[in-house]
Every structure is written in C-alpha cells, then in structure tokens.
Structure 1
Amino acid sequence: MARTGISSLAKSSAVMTAGTLASRILGFVKTMLLATAIGVTIGGAADAFDVANKVPNNLYMLLAGGVLNAVLVPQIVRATRRSDGGRDFTNRLLTLTLVLLLGVTVIATLCAPLLVRLYSSSAWSPEQTALAVAFAYWCLPQIFFYGLYTMLGQVLNAHSSFGPYMWAPVVNNLVSIAGLIVFIVVFGPGEAGQHAVGTWDTPKLVLLAGSATLGVVLQALVLLWPLKRIGFSYRPTFGFRGFGLRTAGTVAGWTFAAVLIGQLGFIVTSRVAASASSTGGEASASNAAYSVSYLMFMLPHSLVAVSLATALFTSMSSYAAEDDTRSVRGSLTLGLRVVGLVNMFATVAFIALAGPAAMLIGGGSQAQARSIGLVLVTMVIGLVPFSANYLLQRVFYAYEDARTPFWVQVPQVALTAGGVIASGALLPQQFVVAGIGLSMSVGYLFACITSAALLRRRLGHLESTAILVAHLKFAVAGALACAAGMGLLAWAGEGAWAGRAGALVTVGWIGIVMLGVYLGVCWLLRVSELHAVAATVRAKVNRGAG
C-alpha cells in the first residue's frame, strides 16, 4: 500500500486546489472582460491578439515548460540526498536554465513576424497580421518569466511547499483584469467595429498587451518571497561539467523532443482553426472561441489532476529513487481514481450545460454559444483519458524516463493531426473546430491506453481491475446525472439562458442538482473514494466539535 493516503493527499492538494480555483475563476472573469473588450468571434483584433498571446505560451511549452516540469522535481529530490542538501546542484541547474531561457526569449522576440505567420492563417489580411505582430512584440517577453515562474515553483514543490506555485497565477489574472477594465473604461467595449483592425494605435495596443505581460512578470517574481521563507537562496553558479547534470540533460532532451512533436501538431490545429475563423459565418466557432472552449476544458483538469499530480510527483520521485515500486503503484492508483471521480462529473456537466456555459464565458448570441458549446462537448469527452495520461506520464518522469512518453506522443500527434486535417477538408465550415475537438479526444484516449500498457511493464501491474470498476461506477452515476441535467435544461427553455446573467443562474441551479444526483448514485454504488472523503470530513468535524 502506498504511503500516500486519501487524507494526506487531500491535505497536500487542498491549498493548491483552492489557489487553482481562485485563479481559474479570475481567468474566466478575464476571458469575459476580453470578450467584452474586443470580442471572441470572427473579426480581426480578437484572433490577432489570441494568436499573439498564445505564441509565448506555446514557445515556452515547446522550449522549456515540459522540460522543466519533467526534470526539476526528480533531480532536486535526488540531489537533496547529497551532503549540502543539493544546494550547489540546484543553483547550477537553475543558472543553466535561466541562461537558456533568456537566449530563447531574445531570439523569439526578434522573430515575432515569422512566429505570427507560423501560427496564423494565410487567409488573414496584411493589416490583421501586422496587428498580431505588434501584439507579439509585447507578449513574447512572457517566455522568460513563464520559465522563471516554473523554475521557482518546481523548487518549492521539490521541498513540499505546494501552495505558492498554484496561487501565483492569481496575481497574473488580477493584473490582467485591471488592465482590461482600464481598457474598456478608456477606449470602450468592442461593439460595432469600434476596435476593428485599422483602429489600433500605440496606447490601445500597449495597454492590452502590456498588462497581459506585466501579469506574467509579477506571477514569477511573487515566488521569491516563499522561497526565502523555506530558506532557499539562489546564487548564480556557472560551470556545468561534472556535477551530475548529464541525466538531467538526457531527460530534458527527450522531453523537448516530445513537446516539439506536440507543438508541430498544435500548429496544424491552430492553422486549421484560424482558416475556419477567416471564412466562417457569424455563428462559426473562431480561433478565439476555440481558446474559450479549451479554457473551460482545462478547468477541471487544472483543479484536480494538476493539483494531485503535483502533490504525488514529489512523493513518487522519492519512492522511485528508493525503488519502492509498491508505493509508486499505490500512489498512481489513488490519483487515477480520485481524478476520475471528479472529471467524470465535469464531463457530463459540460455535456449537459455546454450552451449556457459557453454563453456565460463567451457572451454573444445563443447561436454563437451553441457553436462554442459543440466544440466544448467534443473536447470534454476526452477529459478523463487526458487527465489520466497526465498522471501516467508523471510516473515515467519520476523514474527519469522521458523517452517512453516521447514515443507515446509521436503516434498520438499523428492521429490527432490527421483528424484535424480531415475536419478542415471534409466537414462543413461551422463544424470544423468541433471536429478538431473530437480529434483531440481520440488522441487523448489513444495516449492513455498506450501509456498504461507501457507503464504496466515497468510496475508489474497497475491494479487495473480496481481502476476500471471504479470508472464504470463513475460512468453510471455520470450518465444519470447527465440525463437529469439535459431534462432540466429542456424544461427551463432557451429563454432561461439568453444572456450571461440567466446563463449563470441556469448553470448554477442545474449544476447543483446534477452534482446531487451524481454523488448520490456514487454513494449507493459504494464508491470507496467518496466514502473515504466523507469519513475524513466527519473525523475533522468531530475533532473540531470536541
């Protein structure tokens, strides 16, 4: 049995989940304000800013994000066994990473025109492309600060200080929200072509893109304080030979290759979605609307899977270093079942309430909301395998094995890209982005099954029967909850969610009923995770009462 139980796991992840939830709520507020400021449907400025602001995220994930997440925690955990507690090794690793990040950021910023053309559509007008390039010059410096945030956060995680890493994005969102509010007050909302491509001058551009970048800068710098509290003081230390960095370099190389493959696939997705944006009708799901759907898709994953994986990754890295296979397997099983319990409900809730949820976040007409909602449904059916594969990958990384995830990534990306291209070529224009979402879900399922099969060889077995039985119970409860939600939404009628306020009320009360049905059926089916959580809560209440 793993040394990590539900109670201890809950304690480790509670602060992270709260931070992520606060950040995601603010993220939705930011998205709604952005939609108010410049819109999310077809039309120049929205897609231009969307592409420009995604480029630093994508480049960071390509060149550093996945590498740092895979390398830092296992390496630092192992380094703490050295006589100096790993301080010298950590300083050298951070110094090398910072130098590389700075170089990448400078080069990427100089190549802004090329990068925008790479991620956008050839159907864009020269004016729309020029606006996206101008946005990109302000947004691309985010690469360095995203990297700094990840490095400092992973150092904290390796020392079992999980909360600050998850709470820091709150600062980012608050700054961005403030910038958007000022933008709307000063320049007005994006109505009737008020912020069309040809209307953007330097003050408007700097306020929108500059506030987005300032938020990322502060998100990184705020972590310096908790690092000081745990006694970590970074000193730039050069000289990288003979200090055990070769293993880190090997893992980083395979991880970089995997992320590169993933980004090549994303370029295909971005270009096909951008093409749909440039030629679709008013209710067609645009590239920006794709981002809204993906934001909603990522919410439950970020709240649960990322928080649990972060808490488990440090302990699993320690177990792997000790060759304690039983504890690694037990921690993985626990994580998969808890994540499945939550994500199954999220899946059916988004399926039943896709239209009102899209209206709440994206605004616009109900036709536009239904178009975005269709994209959300096709994406969210892949949520459970997506999060499961995320946890499975962390086990490989805990064993310093990044080669296997790479070989899983290659056919997954090929499968997804093939579906995306087919969607762009074969589907009616209004369904292209929904086809992209479905292709992504198929890829997630393939990756999950393949990763599990390969990991079973390493760990001997994965307690597959218990995991599958648990997910079958979740699916039964989810189907009944989904049926209840769809029935109530049909009873309420489309008029109940014609605007954002109505959508908020509709999502709220129907979501609560669905949650009650889901938890009730899970309880009747004796879902052990739910009973264990309830027992933990009762114990805490009883201790508090005593």
Structure 2
Amino acid sequence: MTSSEGRLLRSGAIVGAGVVASRLTGLLRTLAVTAVLGTSAFADSYNFANNVPNILYELVAGGVLSAALLPVVVDLVRRDDVDALRAVLTRTLGAIAALTVVAVLAAPLLGALVAGLGGGGAPPPDQREAATLLLRWFLPQIAFYGIMTVVTATLHARGRFGLAAFAPMANNLVTIVAFVGASITTTSDLTTLELRATLDERWVVTVVAAGTTLGVVVNAGLLLLGLRGSGVLRPTRRSTPSLSRLRRAAVGAVGVVAVTQLSVVVTAALAKRYGGLGDYSAYTYANLLFFVVYGVVAVSISTAVAPELSRAAGDDEAFRAEVRRGVRLLLLPVLPAALGLAALAGPVADSLPLRADAAARTAEVLVWFALGLAPYAFVQLVLRACWALEDRRTPVVLVAVQQGALVLPALVLSPLVGIRGLAASFAIGYAIGAVVALRHLVVDRRALGRADLTGIGQLLVAAATMAILVGLLDRFVLAGSFLGAEARVVVGAVVGATIYAAALVARGGGEDLRIIRNLLPGGRGRP
C-alpha cells in the first residue's frame, strides 16, 4: 500500500467513524419521525416542505459551492493566503444570506406551489396552510446550510475531517428530542389524524418544525467552532483574483445543479401525484435509508479523496493515480453494501416503526434505490474529479444524460406503477450515468485501463454472488424462522460479509480485505 493510499485511509477512517455515528443517529431520527407522524397527510406535508430549503439551496448555491469552492479553498490554504480566503468566504456567505431573505419573504408563494404539486387545480386550503406554516420555519435553514458548506470546505482543505463528519449527530439528536417532545405533549395519534386536525394541534406542529430547524442551527454552530481563532471568517471588503476563479468554476456547476434540481422537482411532483396516501413518505423513508448506507460506505472515501484530487490537478500522472485509487477504495465497500441492501430490503423496511402495508411499500422502493447506490456513488466521485480539474463542460454533459435517463422513465413508469416506477427510474438513470462516467475516465482521461476494468468486474461478480445467496437465505430460511426483522438484517449482513470476504480471498484480494478493514469503524486507518 502506498503512502498516498495510507493517507486516504487515515482520513477515510476518521470520516467513516463520524459518518457511521451521524448516520446511525440519522436512522434514529427517521425512526422518531415515522413513529410520531407515520405516513399521514401531515407526514407528507412535513417531508415535502422540509425538502424545499434543500432544493432551493442546492439549486441556487449549494451544488455550485460544493463543486467550485473546494479547489479554490485548497489552493488558498496551500498558499496560506488568509486574506484572499477571507474575501472568498465573505462574499459567498453574503450571497447565501441574501438568498435566505428572499426565500423567507416568498414563503406564502412557495407554500401554494408545494401544495399545488400534489395535483391539478387549486390546492386545498389545509395543504396550503400546512406548507406555508412549515416553510416559515424551514426556509431559514438555507443560511445555515451555506455556513456548513463553506466551513466544511475550509476544514477539509486543512485536512481536518472529523468535526464535519460528527457534527450532524447534533442535528439529528436535536430533531429527535423535538419529535419525542411533540409526542409527549399531545394525546392524539398523529399517524392517523386528518391534516386539519393535526394543524389544530398548533403547539405540536410548532415543536416539530422549530426543532427541525434548530438541529440545523446547532450543526452549523458546531462547525464554526472548528475555525475559531483562525481569522478566516472575519468579514472583509477586499477583492481577490480568486473570486473571479470561483465565478468561472461556478459556471459549469450552475448547469449541473439546475438540471439536477429540475429532476428533483419533477420526481417529487410525480411521487405526490401518482402515489397513494403515504406513498411520498414511503419514498422519503427509502431515500433516507439509501443515504444512510451511502453515507456510511461512500462519503468517507469521496470526502477524503476530493482534496487529494485538487492537490494533484496540476500533474496528469499524479491525478490519474489518485483517480485509480479513489475508484478502487470506493467500489470495494460500495458494491457489496448496495447489492446487500437490495437483498435485505424487506427486513430493513420491516425494522422501521411502520404498519405492514407501509413497510411493504418502503421495501419495494428501497430495492430500486439500492440498485442505484453504486452507480450514484461512482458518478459523484467522477464529478469530484472533474471539479478538481475545473472542467466545466464534462459535468454538465454527464449530469444531463444521467438526469434525462432518470426523468424519461419516471414520466412513463409513474402513471403505470406509481412510486415503484419512480424508484426504478432512479436506478436506470444512475446506471446510464455511471456508464457515461466510466467512458470518460477510460477514454477521455485515460485514468483507468484494462486491468482496472477487470478488477471492477471481479468485484461486481463477487458482490452480486453474495447478494443472490443472501437474498435466498433471507427468503427461504430466515423469513420463516423465529427471528425478527432486525435479527434477519444482522444475520444477513454477517453472512454476506463472510461470503464477500471469501470471494476476495479466492481472487487473491488480501490487500482489498485490509483496505476494507481499515475503513471500518475502529479500523486502524493505517497502511
């Protein structure tokens, strides 16, 4: 193992531990939300409205910052140009503050839009009231998302990964407390109440909404502690050439984010229009589970790889080497995790505090999300490689193809099979996107060769074999046993990990096993 791989593993191990802790508390948060709201009409309104700040932020600023900011910040940190870094961060945060003010003022209009996405004609008054009320609480989150993005990029550029990985725990814990408090302060069963009756429980709605936003505020505040005393967040009026560089890098990112968020809006509208009662919540819960697994097995790698790609951007050979390492480190754990999740989607969904019919809907959606997990993670890594090179064209083309391949099947399948068709379109779109991304690395960048492709194929065969065997075990043995859903997940995961490890050993992949072991929580993170 090279020193570069060792450095990536050390960073990845730190991020991995934090992400596991954050995602586990995120899962507890999901359990709290489902236990209190279930798949009621208010749950749909809550989940939909809570996505609006994310959509607006990503559409106007978030995706652009994530793509364009890190390479600029890495360069400024390497040159120790604190004044230029202050100028970049001041202008960036100022723009996000302005966006937040505009969004909050537009809450009634956005509320009508959110309510109207459920179908044609004028939105019912209760839907409009619920959406507007929740958005007044949720839209201020935009400012704090901006702070989190800017501070996280600065910490990562300085090689400090732990705080950003662990901070979301606080967000999740605050939200959990809010939902527990809401359930204590009411004698009503919110999972079965009509929307009007839930809105009449105004104190409960306030606790839920305020607690959700307070969690984001606490998350941002903890991250700010990581830059305390550095001076980089002190406002300045100074200009710097780095601002022009940031604007140029943002041009391509704007196209990527616009296409992506248009797809998000379309799919959300389709989910609400063609799904039955509670289907959008089932879609949301499956999506949350998807990102729990993605965060645990992929974010630690991609987060650690991104600064290394930016540092190597001026050296073609070094950059290709970092790409090869990143792909290898990413796919080793992601492929078995994704296919294993698909195989165990049933017991995973049954582990949630949902009624049997809601759990069944969630499992059907989760299978398709899981099949799209590895392609999604791979595309995200390739996009990071493009941003590191400040390549503005390739990401737009890649994402346009990918989102087109997602939206077109969604438009066809959603009216036919509802929420399942929407989830299937996700897997289809990212699979096609991954093929295009792979072609870019092989043909355009010459970063992957025949040996690399052979290795990827072998990992895919090993992971697919494992998933098939685990799926058969769960369906024909575990499902009919005395084991509960949680135990079935644990047994399936242990058996799957054993099968995958045996497959790696059979192909002479002892080094691969050491890499995976070092990426696990408690792993050494050392070469």
Q: What TM-score does the superposition give when structure 1 sets the normalisation length?
A: 0.89
Match of 1:530 in 2: 512
Deviation at 1:136, TM superposition (A): 0.9
Is residue 464 of structure 1 aligned with residue 449 of structure 2? yes
Match of 1:48 in 2: 45
Q: CA–CA distance in 2 between the matches of 1:368 and 1:306? A: 29
Deviation at 1:53, TM superposition (A): 0.5
Instruction: Pick the aligned partner of 1:249 from 242, 247, 250.
Output: 247
C-alpha contact (below 8 Å) 1:164/1:223 kept by paired residues: yes
What amino acid sits opposite 2:383 in the alignment?
Q
Is residue 517 of structure 1 aligned with residue 499 of structure 2? yes
C-alpha contact (below 8 Å) 1:36/1:190 kept by paired residues: no
Match of 1:98 in 2: 93
Deviation at 1:362, TM superposition (A): 5.1
Is residue 272 of structure 1 aligned with residue 270 of structure 2? yes
Deviation at 1:22, TM superposition (A): 0.8
Q: CA–CA distance in 2 between the matches of 1:452 and 1:541? A: 30
Match of 1:484 in 2: 469
Please give the per-residue CA displacement for 1:488-527, whole angstroms capped at 9, x wherever unaligned. 2223464669xxx921111112221111111111211223
Match of 2:282 in 1: 289
Secondary structure of 2:312 counterpart: helix
C-alpha contact (below 8 Å) 2:37/2:191 kept by paired residues: no
Match of 1:89 in 2: 84
Q: CA–CA distance in 2 between the matches of 1:117 and 1:355? A: 36
Secondary structure of 2:192 counterpart: coil
What amino acid sits opposite 2:344 in the alignment?
L
Please give the per-residue CA displacement for 1:378-397, whole angstroms capped at 9, x wherever unaligned. 12112111111111111111
What amino acid sits opposite 1:451 in the alignment?
A
Q: CA–CA distance in 1 between the matches of 2:344 and 2:443? A: 40
Q: CA–CA distance in 1 between the matches of 2:112 and 2:132? A: 9
C-alpha contact (below 8 Å) 1:305/1:391 kept by paired residues: no
Task: Identify the range of structure 1 (203-212 vs 353-362) with the bigger mean alpha-carbon deviation.
Answer: 353-362
C-alpha contact (below 8 Å) 1:316/1:398 kept by paired residues: yes
Task: Identify the range of structure 1 (183-192 vs 244-253) with the bigger mean alpha-carbon deviation.
Answer: 183-192
Match of 1:138 in 2: 137
Match of 1:503 in 2: 485
Instruction: Pick the aligned partner of 1:344 from 335, 338, 345.
Output: 335
Task: Identify the range of structure 1 (463-472 vs 93-102) with the bigger mean alpha-carbon deviation.
Answer: 463-472
Identity %: 29
Deviation at 1:116, TM superposition (A): 3.7
Q: CA–CA distance in 2 between the matches of 1:410 and 1:125? A: 35
What amino acid sits opposite 1:391 in the alignment?
L
Secondary structure of 2:183 counterpart: helix
Instruction: Pick the aligned partner of 1:410 from 396, 400, 405.
Output: 400
Match of 1:441 in 2: 427
- Identify if the C-alpha distance between structure 1 residues 479 and 319 changes in structure 2 by more than 3 Å, giving closer, same or farther: closer
C-alpha contact (below 8 Å) 1:112/1:137 kept by paired residues: yes
Is residue 75 of structure 1 aligned with residue 75 of structure 2? no
Match of 1:432 in 2: 418
C-alpha contact (below 8 Å) 1:76/1:90 kept by paired residues: yes
Unaligned runs of at least 5 residues, structure 2: none
C-alpha contact (below 8 Å) 1:255/1:406 kept by paired residues: yes
- Identify if the C-alpha distance between structure 1 residues 246 and 373 changes in structure 2 by more than 3 Å, giving closer, same or farther: same
- Identify if the C-alpha distance between structure 1 residues 161 and 188 changes in structure 2 by more than 3 Å, giving closer, same or farther: farther
Match of 1:333 in 2: 324
Please give the per-residue CA displacement for 1:397-426, whole angstroms capped at 9, x wherever unaligned. 11112332012222322221111111123x
Q: CA–CA distance in 1 between the matches of 2:280 and 2:518? A: 44
Match of 2:126 in 1: 127
Q: CA–CA distance in 2 between the matches of 1:536 and 1:97? A: 36
Task: Identify the range of structure 1 (58-67 vs 167-176) with the bigger mean alpha-carbon deviation.
Answer: 58-67
Secondary structure of 2:227 counterpart: helix
- Identify if the C-alpha distance between structure 1 residues 385 and 125 changes in structure 2 by more than 3 Å, giving closer, same or farther: same
C-alpha contact (below 8 Å) 2:252/2:393 kept by paired residues: yes
What amino acid sits opposite 1:518 in the alignment?
Y
Match of 1:206 in 2: 206
Task: Identify the range of structure 1 (381-390 vs 196-205) with the bigger mean alpha-carbon deviation.
Answer: 196-205
Q: CA–CA distance in 2 between the matches of 1:114 and 1:340? A: 43
Match of 1:222 in 2: 222
Q: CA–CA distance in 1 between the matches of 2:324 and 2:50? A: 37
Secondary structure of 2:484 counterpart: helix
Please give the per-residue CA displacement for 1:214-253, whole angstroms capped at 9, x wherever unaligned. 0000100111222127x3442101243x533112101112
Q: What TM-score does the superposition give when structure 2 sets the normalisation length?
A: 0.92
Task: Identify the range of structure 1 (187-196 vs 137-146) with the bigger mean alpha-carbon deviation.
Answer: 187-196
What amino acid sits opposite 1:351 in the alignment?
A
- Identify if the C-alpha distance between structure 1 residues 112 and 9 changes in structure 2 by more than 3 Å, giving closer, same or farther: same
Q: CA–CA distance in 1 between the matches of 2:436 and 2:340? A: 27
What amino acid sits opposite 2:393 in the alignment?
R
What amino acid sits opposite 1:317 in the alignment?
S
Secondary structure of 2:351 counterpart: helix
Unaligned runs of at least 5 residues, structure 1: none
Please give the per-residue CA displacement for 1:96-126, whole angstroms capped at 9, x wherever unaligned. 1111111111111122233344443126632
Q: CA–CA distance in 1 between the matches of 2:493 and 2:377? A: 22
C-alpha contact (below 8 Å) 1:470/1:527 kept by paired residues: no
Please give the per-residue CA displacement for 1:7-51, whole angstroms capped at 9, x wherever unaligned. 3221111111111111111111111111111112xx310100011
Is residue 355 of structure 1 aligned with residue 341 of structure 2? no
| 1:366-385 paired onto structure 2 within 5 Å | 367-385=357-375
Is residue 302 of structure 1 aligned with residue 295 of structure 2? yes
Q: Which has the higher contact order (CA 8 A, sep 6+)?
A: 2
Secondary structure of 2:237 counterpart: coil
C-alpha contact (below 8 Å) 1:37/1:189 kept by paired residues: no
Q: CA–CA distance in 1 between the matches of 2:288 and 2:403? A: 20
Q: CA–CA distance in 2 between the matches of 1:189 and 1:529? A: 56
Secondary structure of 1:244 counterpart: helix
Q: CA–CA distance in 1 between the matches of 2:191 and 2:16? A: 40
Match of 1:64 in 2: 61
What amino acid sits opposite 2:222 in the alignment?
V
C-alpha contact (below 8 Å) 1:71/1:252 kept by paired residues: yes
C-alpha contact (below 8 Å) 2:111/2:131 kept by paired residues: yes
Task: Identify the range of structure 1 (110-119 vs 12-21) with the bigger mean alpha-carbon deviation.
Answer: 110-119
Is residue 364 of structure 1 aligned with residue 361 of structure 2? no
C-alpha contact (below 8 Å) 1:66/1:255 kept by paired residues: yes
C-alpha contact (below 8 Å) 2:302/2:330 kept by paired residues: no
- Identify if the C-alpha distance between structure 1 residues 530 and 122 changes in structure 2 by more than 3 Å, giving closer, same or farther: same
Match of 2:308 in 1: 315
Q: CA–CA distance in 1 between the matches of 2:325 and 2:111? A: 42
Deviation at 1:451, TM superposition (A): 2.6
- Identify if the C-alpha distance between structure 1 residues 404 and 533 changes in structure 2 by more than 3 Å, giving closer, same or farther: closer
